[in-house]
Structures are given as C-alpha cells and as structure tokens.
A and B are shown apart, each in its own frame.
Chain A
Amino acid sequence: MSRASSLRLYITSRILLAPIMVWLATTIVFLLIQAAPGDVVDVKLGPNAPAALKESMRIQMGLDQPMYIQYFRYINQLLHFDLGSSTFTQGQPITQVIGEFFPATVELTVCGMMIAALVGLTVGSLAASRPNTPIDTGSRLFGIVTYALPMYWFGMILQLVFAVKLGWFPQGTRFPIDQLAPTGPTGLYVLDSLLHLNLAQFFTSVYYLALPSLTLGLLISGVFERIVRVNLRQTLKSDYVEAARARGISEFRILTAHALKNAMIPVITILGLTFAAMLGGAVLTEVTFDWPGLGNRLYIAISQRDADMVQGLMVFFATIVVVVSILIDVLNAYVDPRIRY
C-alpha cells in the first residue's frame, strides 16, 4: 500500500472513530450529571414550589421517565445538534451561550499558547544548545517551577503585583465595564477592533488580554520547555547534526533549520492537546481573572447547579478535544513518515 493510500485509510479510520469517542464522553457526562445530588426541578422552581407544580414540570421535562429513555432522548437531541438549554436561566439555549462566551476563550487560549510556545521554545532551545551550563540549570528550574505553580495562586499574585500594586495592567475582565466592547464577526476583540480599524479598542483589548494570557502562557511554557529541551538535546546528538557541523554549518542554523524541526513532533502533540484542553475551558485562568469565557461560564453553571448547562458545555468541550486530537494525529502522521498506522 502506498503512503498516500495508507494515510487516507488512517485519516478515515480516525474520523470514523470520532463519533464513538464523542458518544463515550457524552454518555459519561450524562451519567455523572444523573449521579450528582440535587433536583433540576428544584433549581427551576425552587425547593418550596407546590408539589403539584413540581410534578407537572417533571412530566413536562420528561424526568418522570426511566433513565434510559431520558438518555436516548438526550442522544437524539444531540444528534439534531441541540445541546439543550440552561435550567438556571430558564431556557437560554446552550449554543447561544457558547456563541457568546467561546470567542473569549479562543482569544485567551490562542494568546496564551503563543506566549507559551515562544517562551517554551526559546528557553528549551537555549537549554538544549548549552547543556550543563547555568542556562541549562536555570531552564530546568524554570520548567519545574512553572509546571508546579498552582494557576490560581500564581494568577492572584500576578494580579496583586502588576494590577493592584504597580497598576501596569487592569484587574480582571476582558474590557472596561464603562466602555463599549468591540463588536464584529469573530467575537475576538483584538481581531474585531483591527477589522474596524479602531486602534483605541485594539490597544485596550490587548491591554486587558496581556496579564491573563501571560499567566496562562508562562505556566504552560514549562511543559513545552521540558519537551523541547529533552528532544532537541537528543536530536543535537544525532549523526546528521554532527555531519552538518562537520560541513561548517552554523550552530544557530543547525538548531533552527535542522534539529528543531525534528524535535518538534512530540511538541506538536503536546501543544495540540494542551490547546484543545484549554479551548475546553481554561477554567482556573478564566475564574482567576474573571475572564468571560466558557471556562468561567462552566464554573458559574456548576455553582448555580445548572445541570443542563454543565452537561451541554462538557459535551462541547469533549467534542473539541476529540476533534483536535484527531487533527493532531493526522498532522503527526502527515509530517512524520516513520509513523505507521
């Protein structure tokens, strides 16, 4: 079988597996929500509502049916791309909530990933190219510390120092409450303000985005730094790198043009999975900075005991992770001919 055919087969099999993975995730989420304490009708009508009204609401919502019927009804609803509606806000469609909050999560995640990639790759490359030097030791320390730091604590400290004490950055949120936020087709403030050529809005958006994305990026960069360092170091010892050195190619060129590319395959995997996980709600970062993204919305839904919202968002997150992981598998298979399927 040719490589192209093999790759096609692999991609097809991965795509066919996707619905099964989403179904599994959906089933687990459904069962967990069912097992959670509390009553959806109580959330909707309050615990002191008349029993008759509660009962009629239970029938109306189908909660009087056996669990397997509720499950099949939910799956049928999902098959029609209907994630349901919020219990707590009495009927707000979850797709509308996703449309409202997801752009903020995307914006934070993309910026955080850019910072993480920049810092992680730079520090990791520096360390790999200077083994057993103070730079190497420092980068290892950086990797361990950023990996070990709790997001909630680190975010709070950064806010306290840079927002409250020094006043260099704003405190939390995505845009000043007393100003009109950029509107546009993407929902990404930075992009929308540029599309409208509104530089004031652009700089304000970046200003508000800076601290949360720096925090997120720095904390994730440790993971990248360690993977880059280990892989790059391994690659720099390989025969073709020695051969390149013998040909007089500069160390910088060896690093950037040859070694780094080959060391990137595991980094892409980790990068992609981290990206997917963060798109599925960088909950702690968003809550710490009051960033109005889906992670924050999930946190609010949990605290409000909004079971339908939690369920809908979890299914959305699971779908994102499944889709992105398939994309990564395909990308890896495409760029690395050694991968067999």
Chain B
Amino acid sequence: MMVSLTRLSRRGFLVRIGQYAGLFALCLTLAVSCRGEGGSQPAADLGTGDRVSMGTTLSAGSLDPADAYETFPGILLYNLGDRLYTYTPGTTDLVPQLATELPTISEDGITYTIPLRDDVTLHDGTPFTAEVMAFSMQRFIENGGRPADLLSSKVAEVSAASPTELVIKLKAPVASFTSLLTFSGITPVSPEAYEIGAGNFKPSVFIGSGPYKLSEYSSSVIRLDANENYWGEQPANDGIDIQIFTSAANLYNSFVSGGLDVAYQTLDPDQISKLETDAPGNNWTVIEAGATVVDYLSLNQKIAPFDNLDARKAVAAMVDRPLIVERAFKDQADPSYSLIPTSFSDVSEPVFEEAYGDGNYDEAKKYLTAAGFSESNPMAFEVWYPSSSTPRSIAAQTIKQSIEQNLPGLVNVTVNTAESATLFGNIADGVYPSVMLNWYADYFDPENFVQPFLSCENGSEATLCEAGESQSSGSFYYSDKANQLVAEQNAESDPDKRNAIFKQLQELMAADVPYIPLWQVKDYVFTTSAVSAVDIQPNQQLLLWKIEKAS
C-alpha cells in the first residue's frame, strides 16, 4: 500500500513540477513572442522619424568643452557644437564655420582678428556674439580643465571688439593657431548656463550652437536630438542614440545581432577581421580610414641603457614593425617611421625606415658593440606598457621574441606592464627605461606631433629635460636645436618653409632617437544597410549629422 501511494505521489509530484516548468516556459515564450520586433513594432518610438542607433565602447566622462579631452567626448562636442573654423568634409581644407572669413593676422603674428556670423543662436536661445565666444574661450582657459593648456600656453587675451568681431592676442606667434581653433572644445557655450571659475565644470549638459542638442547623458546611454533651429545645414537624421558598451564583445555581438545601425570603436582585431569577412553576406559597410593616432616607444635618456645613443640606435634597428603589425593587429595598422603620421603626406618622412630599417639585426649588432654590449655583457632592454592594452601586450611580446631569437645572448628583453594610472603617473618621474605609448592629436597640424615630444622649457643637453613636454613623454630629451626648430616653425607662416622645418625635426629625431615610431592604427566604422553617408574625416571626426537613415 505504502509503495503504491509513494508511486502515485511521485507521479503527482512530477505533474506539479511539470506544471511549474510549463508556466515558466509559457511566461518566457510570451515575453519572447510578444516583444516589439526590432524597431518595427517599438514599445514607444523616440521620435517620428529617422534616428540612428550607434554603439561604442568609448566613454564620455565629461561633455564640458572646457574639460573634455578624450576621443569620444571630442566627437560628441564636434557634433553638438560649432567652432570658429572647421574642415570641408572629406578634406583638410580649413574653412570658416562661426567665423565668416579666415582670420586677419597682424604682421607680428600676435593679433588675430576674426569676423563672426550674426545669424547664430545657441540651444537656449542666446544669440551668438563675439562676447559669447570670448566668454567661452576665457572659460576654457580659466576653468583649468584638462585641455586648458592648449589655449592658456598660447593666448594672452581674448576680447570682443564688436558683437561680430573677436580679437585674440597671442603670447608669441603660433603658425598652427587657426588649426587649433578647430579643436572640439573651443566652441561657444551659453553664458547663461556656464560660469567661469577654476574647476567649475558641467559634465552632463551641453548648451552650445551645433546641429544637435544633448537630450540624455549617462554612462550607458547618450542621446542627441537634431536641433530644429540650427543655423546651418540640418542634420540628415532626427537624432543619434548612442549605447556605450563595457566590452568590445558586447559591441560586436550587438552589431551582428542587428541591435545597432553603426558600430564605432573599439573592436578587437579578431572581431574586425570577422566583420570584414562577413560584411558582404550581411550588407554591412566597412569604413576604413588611416588614423592620426601614433604608437611609439619612448626611451628614457636619463637611465641606462638608453642614456647611450648607440643603445637607442640599436633598438631602432632591431624593431620589426611589419611583424608587429601582422601579429598584434592582423594588418589593421600600418608601420610607422615618423611621429608625424602619413596623413600629412607633404610633411611626413619615413626617417626611421631610411636610417635603421626593420629587423635590421646586423646593424643592431654594430650599435650594440659600439655601446659596449656583448654576449658576456648583454643589454638589458626593459619594455613597459599600460596593462589595459591587449594589442600592445602582443606587440611587446613580439618585440621580445623577435629580438631574443635574432640576437641571442646579446639582448635580454623584459616585458613589464602596469595599471594605466600608475604607469602614466610614473612616466614623468623617469621610472621606466622604455614605455610603449600612443598619441592622439588635439588638432590637425604636424606641430601637434612634434612639439609635445621634442620641446623642453627647462633643462640643458647635460642635465636633459627637467620640466617640459619631453619629460611628460618619458624621454627627457633636451636639444637646443629641437627647441629652436619648434619655435621657428611656430613663427613661420610660409607653408613650404614650415614643412622644411618639420623635415629637419624628423631627421633630428631619427639621429637622436628619443622615441621610436612603431605603428599607426587604422580606424574602422561598421554600418548596416539601414544607414548611409557614414565617413571618418581626415581629422578623425565622425560627422553624425551627415548620416542618413533609410526609412
């Protein structure tokens, strides 16, 4: 009797379990089947028309123009605001935007007089005037945000001569100053919404003059709405909805599963390769552009072995860039032989290729011998890189393997990594013999790839750099000639003569080897067939207002 009861109850128990499981499955099925299908049956559309969904892993910590200094906030500000000058899309031709003409520069190169438009209104209805622009630039300087030095080191005074005329006085001539005025943060903001005061920032709002208004800002979602009262060309879409992902894998998966119209930075090389392969079958468009981001090795001249010029030259000869590019980037980068990127085709010279080549181990041996290294006294080559970068990790390991394989017993390569904040904090203190770093330009001018590396305000050729740009870059390079050439190019208004100075500076870099250029990454954007007119500009900007969405 007991046995039969137990059997019966077991059956009943299983039936109950089955009921629970069935109910659960039913709920799940309902949820899956009753959901809004993609965007066709949305729970509630954000707008009536064509909004573009975009995914990225880049973070936007602050959208305050006086403080934003990373790549992604720069792109957002470029689309939310206007600048005095900009580039004609697809070119590097400087054209007025809020200005009506290129600046009138005084003979001494110090005073810039800029005529302004009178038909521009900011997002809050404030009319754009020279006072507004002067306020915005003053705020950029005085609030002391991360990019403040771009102007504070160069500008002596900003004032409004009239509502439509801005006057900027520089501390010294700066040939690239008009290019600098294209920097995304040098944009008018409303004096009603912003204040001048050190450290006074508004990271999550933007009240400017551009084609979009900021409608939502958080660490995971950013929404831009088309500015219906924009004075210029209206955006081709109704708005941009940006999803910020915490990992490249999530960005990749979201894009391939149809959750996004545009996937932009940063995907791993493997994911990029897969998307490129799968693009034709899925009607995806792959937009590839050469970037102006330069990766390089900084050699600290204050400590051994790189206090010895021959040791630095030996490393320059040993490095095999094509091998690094192949292994670490699956050819999604280009070998770099100058710190001035190849996009400056009339200036960039492959000086390191000409002087040292790639994987030139015979030449490296000669330099090592000259530096006093031998198999009984091998050179200790210590390479550091920020731990957050996987490609740099592979690159560092590739350098180690290729050198130790080809120069056995002559060089002992040690690869070390440190958490980014710690590493960047230690660079200027001269802790590391060599560090792999990269450089994002603030504005599109060759000066921005030279001055931050070669100039140094305080120091001497004996003591090396004690305070200045090359100290921050970790090389402690000091050269009177380099300082003089940097100053000369700043004062030179003739483009050809200025280019000649840049060539001299590159040759100087190849001769003194404070840095070894390694590679230039390529920039990728992936889009579905739902959007068109997506393009990366030569200055690395993404013009969101150009993107068209198929209805």
Contact surface of A with B, Cβ cutoff 8 Å: 37-39, 42, 44-50, 53, 56-57, 60, 88-92, 100, 118, 122, 126, 129, 156, 159-160, 163-164, 167-173, 175-180, 182, 193, 198-201, 203-204, 206-207, 210, 245, 248, 250-253, 255, 287-290, 292, 296-297, 299-300, 303-305
In the bound assembly, the distance between CA atoms of A44 and B219 in angstroms comes to 17
Which residues does chain B contribute within 8 Å of A91, judged by CB atoms?
201, 203
B245 touches A172 (CB 8 A): yes
Asked if B17 lies at the interface with its beta carbon under 8 angstroms from chain A, I say yes
B246 touches A44 (CB 8 A): no
A118-B24, A171-B257 are known contacts. Are A203 and B148 too (CB-CB below 8 A)? no
Which residue of chain B is the closest to A208 with respect to CB atoms?
B35
- Within 8 Å by CB of A171, from B20, B24, B35, B250, lies B250
- Per-residue interface assignment for chain B, residues 192 to 206, with 1 indicating a CB less than 8 Å from any chain A CB and 0 otherwise: 000000110111100
Q: How far is the CB of A120 from chain B (nearest CB, A)?
A: 13
Q: How far is the CB of B40 from chain A (nearest CB, A)?
A: 11
Which residues does chain B contribute within 8 Å of A173, judged by CB atoms?
220, 243, 254, 259
A45 touches B146 (CB 8 A): yes
In the bound assembly, the distance between CA atoms of A129 and B242 in angstroms comes to 52
Which residue of chain B is the closest to A246 with respect to CB atoms?
B2
In the bound assembly, the distance between CA atoms of A60 and B41 in angstroms comes to 52
A90-B203, A178-B53 are known contacts. Are A204 and B247 too (CB-CB below 8 A)? no
Asked if B67 lies at the interface with its beta carbon under 8 angstroms from chain A, I say yes
A39-B425, A177-B221, A292-B220 are known contacts. Are A57 and B9 too (CB-CB below 8 A)? no
Q: How far is the CB of B194 from chain A (nearest CB, A)?
A: 13
Which residues does chain A contribute within 8 Å of B253, judged by CB atoms?
159-160, 163-164, 171-172
21 CB < 8 A contacts A-B: A47-B472, A48-B472, A53-B144, A89-B61, A90-B64, A90-B203, A91-B203, A156-B249, A167-B257, A179-B39, A179-B45, A200-B41, A201-B44, A204-B43, A207-B31, A250-B12, A251-B6, A290-B250, A292-B220, A296-B220, A304-B59
In the bound assembly, the distance between CA atoms of A89 and B203 in angstroms comes to 6
Asked if B424 lies at the interface with its beta carbon under 8 angstroms from chain A, I say yes
A180 touches B44 (CB 8 A): yes
A50 touches B144 (CB 8 A): yes
- Per-residue interface assignment for chain B, residues 29 to 41, with 1 indicating a CB less than 8 Å from any chain A CB and 0 otherwise: 0111011100101
B421 touches A250 (CB 8 A): no
A90-B203, A92-B203, A179-B46 are known contacts. Are A207 and B12 too (CB-CB below 8 A)? no
- Within 8 Å by CB of B149, from A48, A90, A179, A296, lies A48
Contact surface of B with A, Cβ cutoff 8 Å: 1-2, 5-6, 8-10, 12-13, 16-17, 20-21, 24, 27-28, 30-32, 34-36, 39, 41-46, 51, 53, 55, 59, 61-62, 64, 67, 69, 144-149, 152, 198-199, 201-204, 218-221, 241-243, 245-247, 249-250, 253-254, 256-260, 419, 421-422, 424-425, 428, 472
Which residues does chain A contribute within 8 Å of B247, judged by CB atoms?
287-288, 290
Which residues does chain A contribute within 8 Å of B42, judged by CB atoms?
176, 178-179, 200
B61 touches A304 (CB 8 A): yes
Given contacts A171-B257, A292-B218, 15 further A-B contacts (CB under 8 A): A44-B199, A48-B149, A50-B144, A100-B218, A168-B32, A176-B43, A177-B221, A177-B243, A178-B241, A179-B39, A200-B43, A204-B35, A207-B31, A290-B243, A300-B59
Which residues does chain A contribute within 8 Å of B147, judged by CB atoms?
46
B10 touches A251 (CB 8 A): yes
Which residues does chain B contribute within 8 Å of A92, judged by CB atoms?
203-204
A47 touches B36 (CB 8 A): no
Which residues does chain A contribute within 8 Å of B13, judged by CB atoms?
129, 251-252, 255
A198 touches B43 (CB 8 A): yes
A180 touches B45 (CB 8 A): yes
B219 touches A179 (CB 8 A): no
A100-B218, A159-B253, A177-B53 are known contacts. Are A90 and B201 too (CB-CB below 8 A)? yes
Which residues does chain A contribute within 8 Å of B256, judged by CB atoms?
164
Which residues does chain B contribute within 8 Å of A50, judged by CB atoms?
144, 149, 152
B9 touches A251 (CB 8 A): yes
A210 touches B220 (CB 8 A): no
Which residues does chain A contribute within 8 Å of B2, judged by CB atoms?
245, 248
A49 touches B32 (CB 8 A): no
In the bound assembly, the distance between CA atoms of A304 and B61 in angstroms comes to 8
A178-B53, A251-B13 are known contacts. Are A90 and B67 too (CB-CB below 8 A)? yes
A122 touches B17 (CB 8 A): yes
A305 touches B31 (CB 8 A): no
Which residues does chain A contribute within 8 Å of B24, judged by CB atoms?
118
Which residue of chain B is the closest to A182 with respect to CB atoms?
B43
In the bound assembly, the distance between CA atoms of A118 and B21 in angstroms comes to 9
In the bound assembly, the distance between CA atoms of A60 and B147 in angstroms comes to 21
A48 touches B146 (CB 8 A): yes
- Within 8 Å by CB of B254, from A38, A167, A171, A250, lies A171
Which residues does chain B contribute within 8 Å of A287, judged by CB atoms?
246-247
A48-B146, A177-B53, A206-B31 are known contacts. Are A299 and B246 too (CB-CB below 8 A)? yes
- Within 8 Å by CB of A250, from B9, B32, B249, lies B9
B62 touches A89 (CB 8 A): yes
A180 touches B220 (CB 8 A): no
A206-B31, A304-B59 are known contacts. Are A38 and B422 too (CB-CB below 8 A)? yes
In the bound assembly, the distance between CA atoms of A179 and B243 in angstroms comes to 12
Q: How far is the CB of B3 from chain A (nearest CB, A)?
A: 11
Which residue of chain A is the closest to B420 with respect to CB atoms?
A305
Which residues does chain B contribute within 8 Å of A156, judged by CB atoms?
249
In the bound assembly, the distance between CA atoms of A281 and B146 in angstroms comes to 31
Most buried by B among A48, A60, A296: A48
A88-B61, A164-B253, A180-B45 are known contacts. Are A45 and B221 too (CB-CB below 8 A)? no
Which residues does chain B contribute within 8 Å of A292, judged by CB atoms?
218-221
Q: How far is the CB of A267 from chain B (nearest CB, A)?
A: 17
Which residues does chain B contribute within 8 Å of A126, judged by CB atoms?
17
Most buried by A among B219, B258, B472: B219
- Within 8 Å by CB of A177, from B8, B199, B259, lies B259
Which residue of chain B is the closest to A306 with respect to CB atoms?
B61
A49 touches B144 (CB 8 A): yes
Q: How far is the CB of B14 from chain A (nearest CB, A)?
A: 9
Which residue of chain A is the closest to B219 with respect to CB atoms?
A300
Which residues does chain A contribute within 8 Å of B64, judged by CB atoms?
90
B43 touches A180 (CB 8 A): yes
Which residues does chain A contribute within 8 Å of B472, judged by CB atoms?
47-48
Which residue of chain B is the closest to A163 with respect to CB atoms?
B257
A200-B43, A206-B31, A248-B5 are known contacts. Are A172 and B36 too (CB-CB below 8 A)? no
Which residues does chain B contribute within 8 Å of A305, judged by CB atoms?
421
In the bound assembly, the distance between CA atoms of A253 and B8 in angstroms comes to 12
- Within 8 Å by CB of B43, from A39, A170, A201, lies A201
Which residue of chain A is the closest to B60 with respect to CB atoms?
A89
A60 touches B424 (CB 8 A): no
Q: How far is the CB of A192 from chain B (nearest CB, A)?
A: 12
A179-B46, A207-B35 are known contacts. Are A45 and B199 too (CB-CB below 8 A)? yes
- Within 8 Å by CB of B69, from A46, A210, A245, lies A46
Which residues does chain A contribute within 8 Å of B146, judged by CB atoms?
45-46, 48-49
B144 touches A290 (CB 8 A): no
In the bound assembly, the distance between CA atoms of A165 and B256 in angstroms comes to 9
Which residues does chain A contribute within 8 Å of B425, judged by CB atoms?
37-39, 42, 47
Which residues does chain B contribute within 8 Å of A90, judged by CB atoms?
62, 64, 67, 199, 201-203
Which residues does chain B contribute within 8 Å of A46, judged by CB atoms?
69, 145-147
In the bound assembly, the distance between CA atoms of A175 and B24 in angstroms comes to 22
Most buried by B among A46, A289, A296: A46
A210 touches B218 (CB 8 A): no
Q: How far is the CB of B251 from chain A (nearest CB, A)?
A: 9
Q: How far is the CB of A180 from chain B (nearest CB, A)?
A: 4
In the bound assembly, the distance between CA atoms of A50 and B143 in angstroms comes to 11
In the bound assembly, the distance between CA atoms of A182 and B44 in angstroms comes to 9
B259 touches A118 (CB 8 A): no
In the bound assembly, the distance between CA atoms of A56 and B221 in angstroms comes to 34
In the bound assembly, the distance between CA atoms of A18 and B8 in angstroms comes to 50
In the bound assembly, the distance between CA atoms of A175 and B21 in angstroms comes to 26
Most buried by A among B16, B24, B42, B220: B220
